Structure 1
Amino acid sequence: MKVSLLLALVCTAVLAAGARAEAPAEPAALTATVREYVQQAADVARSVLATVQESEAAQQARKWLADNTALARQQLAWLKERLAEVWKRTPAA
């Protein structure tokens, strides 16, 4: 679910809550209704994010990042060794 669609649903819920309010003198009821809709939208968003995080594509992406992070660390260690060797060979002034 896209963020823009979620935002549209929340705005629609707020407008619907405003339309359902019987009188402007009931701000507590309107606030409670809006909070209820926002809570429902947040629950849907959490559910969608959990589904995306558990997807196979997300798992493959995490594995790829983990593998490439290890490779980057190995290359950095190799570079540090080479620089240490060059540093030792450089005569002091």
Structure 2
Amino acid sequence: MKASLLLVLVCTAVLAAGARADAPREPEALVRRVQEYAQKASAMAKTAFSSVQESEAAQQARRWLEDTADLAKQRLAWLKEQLTELWKRRPAA
């Protein structure tokens, strides 16, 4: 068990040394790398969002919402008619 722990520590040290060697020395280069990463992440997010919007589940959800909205409008119109009829039948005081 001690040998495996030592191996993990050595691997971690090698990876850290490699990362440190790859790290840019100038702040401008670091800023450039961060900007590139942010652009890549943004492009990936846009792609993922587009694929979700175009998915069959999203299209079904949109159709369901449209149908439900139409049904709600119909029921609201029916309720309005009923209230109008009720208001007309009300005796004047």
TM-score calculated relative to the size of structure 1: 0.69
Q: Is the 8 A contact 1:21 1:29 kept in 2?
A: no
1:92, distance to aligned residue in structure 2 (A): 3.6
Match in the other structure for 1:49: 49
Q: Partners of 2:60 and 2:68 in 1: how far apart?
A: 12
Match in the other structure for 1:38: 38
1:21, distance to aligned residue in structure 2 (A): 3.6
Larger radius of gyration between Structure 1 and Structure 2: 2
1:56, distance to aligned residue in structure 2 (A): 1.0
| Percent of aligned pairs with the same amino acid | 57
1:90, distance to aligned residue in structure 2 (A): 2.1
Q: Which runs of no fewer than 5 residues in structure 1 stay unpaired?
A: 1-17
> Which has the bigger relative contact order, CA under 8 A and spacing at least 6?
1
**1:26-60 Cα distance to aligned partner (Å, 9 max, x none):** 22221121111011001001101111111111111
TM-score calculated relative to the size of structure 2: 0.69
Q: Which runs of no fewer than 5 residues in structure 2 stay unpaired?
A: 1-18
Q: CA RMSD in A?
A: 1.9
Match in the other structure for 2:14: none
Q: Is the 8 A contact 1:52 1:58 kept in 2?
A: yes
Count of residues in correspondence between the two structures: 74
